[in-house]
Amino acid sequence: MENLQTIREQALAALNAVQDEAALEQWKVAQLGRNAALTQAMKNLGQLSAEERPLAGKQANEVKLALEAAFDEKRSALEGARLRESLSSEKLDVTLPGHSIALGRLHPITQTLRRVNAIFAQMGFQVYRSRDVETDEYNFLLLNFPPNHPAREMQDSFYVEGGAPDNPTLLRTHTSAGQIHAMREYAAKDPGNPPPIRIVLPGMCYRFEQVSSRSEVQFTQVEGLAVGENITFGDLKGTLTDFAQRFFNANVRTRFRASHFPFTEPSAEMDVECFVCGGSGCSVCKHSGWLEILGSGMVHPNVLRNGGYDPEKYSGFAFGMGPERLTMLRYRIEDIRYFWRNDMRFLEQF
């Protein structure tokens, strides 16, 4: 017991003589380390009698706790003294500008979506929002997809539990599903003489596909729909050519190629001249000189009829484009997966 008290007094006396943090660390090793007198004393407790051991063990623990508390107090005092010395000796120029706060910014796809919507708004199109979760009827059947169409296969769609057996629920595979909602909503205003439609439908789509540099399981689309009397394929070409010139540049060349989509007839895909090589051919355009940007066509009579518009009186055109692809082409991005990795080094470039 007397030995433990002596160890405590000598350790505290040595601590009072410590003047800097390096000496404090040396004191800690000497007084609380593996070879310290206190540590050795605690190892020798087993040599005491059964009556003496509890009292000596209690005293040893009290000494250890007291030395640890004194160490923490001394360290705080030294740190405070160092800070005061730093503040008194070092100069601070308060006229220097402070650190700027990092501000958030719009995602590159959001920027492209807003640009696309703004361009079509200037042409008189309105933005129409449709649901992400659709029924098989709206996503496929009413858009002229027959029941045995490959797009209905389970590996291509995310189906949701709880839907009707004959009309299952799924995450929409394209924004085209909103066409029927929009047409029926407009037709309900005047069933005998429904008003014309000119809308764009932006939103997220979902397909159960293999993720690669060119495809993702979720992606955005912008659907366009115009329905009215005497609308022709020439109106479609003029609208989309004007869009390409506003989005890319006024001198961009475009071309239309025949294609097939179940909900349009005739159907076409639209290309723009490669702005990297100017049409001469490069790796970006796969040496074709052209870059595909969207699909389009005249609304199929069955789709018009399902939407509440008489195909004998009304006609219309529709188109669909991917903002990811537009953004990749515009900024020469080679991998679509960059958009969803949340890598700040990539996102801060926009």
Q: What is the SS3 string spanning 190-235?
A: CCCCCCCEEEEEEEEEECCCCCCCCCCCEEEEEEEEEEECCCCHHH
Residue 266 half-sphere exposure toward CB, CA atoms < 13 A: 11
Look up the domain containing 14 and give its range.
2-89
Q: Same domain for 77 and 151? A: no
**Taking Cα atoms as reference points, which of 106, 104, 102, 103 lies closest to residue 327?**
106
Please say whether the beta carbons of 323 and 222 come within 8 A. yes
Q: Which helix (H) or strand (E) holds 316?
A: strand 315-321
Number of domains comprising the chain: 2
- Read off the pLDDT of residues 7-51 as tens digits, 9 standing for 90 and up: 888 888 888 888 888 888 888 888 888 888 888 888 877 787 877
Q: Same domain for 192 and 67? A: no
Q: Same domain for 180 and 33? A: no
The C-alpha R_g of the chain, in whole angstroms, comes to 37
- How high is the pLDDT of residue 282? 74
Q: Same domain for 74 and 217? A: no
Q: Same domain for 82 and 127? A: no
Which of 89, 119, 150 lies at the terminal end of a domain, its last residue? 89
Residue 95 lies in a domain: no
Structure tokens at 85: 């010395």
Q: Same domain for 56 and 184? A: no
Determine the Cα–Cα distance for residues 265 and 299; give it in Å rounded to an integer.
Answer: 6
- Read off the pLDDT of residues 69-108 as tens digits, 9 standing for 90 and up: 888 898 898 888 888 888 788 777 778 788 888 788 899 9
- How high is the pLDDT of residue 194? 93
| Torsion sign (Cα): 278, 282, 285, 290 | positive
Residue 94 lies in a domain: no
**Taking Cα atoms as reference points, which of 164, 199, 154, 160 lies closest to residue 180?**
199
- How high is the pLDDT of residue 227? 96
Q: Same domain for 71 and 119? A: no
Average pLDDT, the chain: 87
- Please report where in the chains the tokens 């703004």 appear, as a residue: 118
What mean pLDDT is predicted for residues 165-179? 89
Q: Same domain for 80 and 118? A: no
Q: Same domain for 122 and 248? A: yes
Determine the Cα–Cα distance for residues 174 and 186; give it in Å rounded to an integer.
Answer: 21
Query: Where residue 186 sits, what CATH number does that domain have?
Result: 3.30.930.10
- Read off the pLDDT of residues 254-312 as tens digits, 9 standing for 90 and up: 999 999 998 999 999 999 888 767 777 776 677 788 888 899 999 999 999 999 999 99
